[in-house]
Amino acid sequence: KNEVEQSPQNLTAQEGEFITINCSYSVGISALHWLQQHPGGGIVSLFMLSSGKKKHGRLIATINIQEKHSSLHITASHPRDSAVYICAGDNDMRFGAGTRLTVKP
């Protein structure tokens, strides 16, 4: 069983919809990374958070360390948000399998 579970695995949305991607982990961590992998393969670090909430543009990440759960939200989704979103705990950088998001115009 993977120590980091993401849901959903695949997500298709219409442009403008509010998106939520979830990440749960079974081991203790002090921080969690959210990454975005573009269709071309490049990886960008979106957030690294250890508590509460962080916001960057239309992206919001929340985490509850005690409940071992984090969410990534995208407001007013756009086709350019189409990518794979990956979470990872910082203890051993164990990654979730990723959520493939497709936003249709």
Partner 1 sequence: DAGVIQSPRHEVTEMGQEVTLRCKPISGHNSLFWYRQTMMRGLELLIYFNNNVPIDDSGMPEDRFSAKMPNASFSTLKIQPSEPRDSAVYFCASSLRQARNQPQHFGDGTRLSIL
Only segment of 11-19, 20-28, 71-79, 93-101 that touches partner 1 (CB under 8 A): 93-101
- 92 interacts with partner 1 by CB under 8 A: yes
Nearer Cβ to partner 1 (17/98): 98
Cα 1 from Cα 76, distance rounded (Å): 34
Report helix, strand and coil shares of the chain as percent, to nearest 5.
5, 55, 40
Nearer Cβ to partner 1 (12/50): 50
* Site map (CB under 8 A) of partner 1, residues 28-47, x = contact: --xx-x-x-----xxxxx--
Give CA torsion, residues 76, 67, 24, 102, to 10 deg.
-10
Find residue 74's DSSP bridge partners.
19, 59
Total Cβ atoms within 10 A of residue 97: 14
- 27 interacts with partner 1 by CB under 8 A: no
- 88 interacts with partner 1 by CB under 8 A: yes
Residues that bind partner 1 (CB under 8 A): 30-31, 33, 35, 41-45, 48, 50, 86, 88, 90-98
